[in-house]
Copies of this chain bind each other. A is one copy, B any other.
Amino acid sequence: MLQPFTRVLDLGTGDIAPENRLVRRRLSDMRGAYAEDCDGAQVVYEVFNIDVPETNSELQTCTTRLYNGKVGDEYFMTKGHFHEVRDRSEVYLTTSGYGRLVMATEDGRYAIEEMRPGSMNYIPGGWSHRSVNVADEPLVFFAAYIGDSGHDYGSIEERGFPVLVVEGPSGPEVVPNPRYQSS
């Protein structure tokens, strides 16, 4: 039986004490994710993780801090992934900033939901998910998902998402992804 514990999250920045950074992705790690080439050491996002066993009785939790910025007209975004165990669901609670949550099924359906302080997005099993920062400040959200979900980044790296979120003349726009590989 696990022992109860507490971590303290900064709801404004996403920092977790004691710190346990899982991921720090720089522009150089995001090559191929954007229509335009990108490179360099600029940090796009960081994920802070709370470690628990990977079983379907536990809950994985983390915070994500997605910085503001663009590559061409595409906003900074996370890589996005499916769960390895496809039917496992996930929830996002945004605590700071503004964004879009892009989700897609393997057969090419997509859904876009808004992220803003207090929004609770439900990502059902079978939907890949990527967050996009559409504002001029970091987007910070808390995520919880079932312990044995796992991550499948490969499918997205190969096929992309059916749509992109880009900056248009009057704000964020959802446009077809010309490089999407339908199955």
Contact = CB atoms under 8 A, between A and B. Distances in A.
Interface of A: 1-11, 16, 50, 52, 56-59, 61, 87-91, 93, 95, 101, 103, 105, 111, 113-114, 116-127, 142, 144-147
A1 B59 contact: no
Nearest to A110: B4
Contacts of A114: 6
Contacts of A8: 116, 118-120
B50 A122 contact: yes
Given A1-B127, A56-B56, A144-B144, 19 more contacts: A2-B89, A2-B122, A3-B111, A3-B124, A4-B111, A4-B123, A5-B113, A6-B114, A6-B122, A10-B118, A11-B11, A11-B95, A57-B125, A58-B89, A59-B144, A59-B145, A89-B147, A91-B144, A93-B93
A120 B1 contact: no
Contacts of A118: 8-11
A19 B95 CA distance: 20
A57 B87 contact: yes
Contacts of A1: 105, 124-127
**Closest CB pairs A-B (n = 10):** A2-B124, A144-B144, A57-B87, A4-B111, A9-B118, A6-B113, A1-B126, A7-B120, A58-B89, A6-B121
Contacts of A56: 56, 146
Contacts of A116: 8
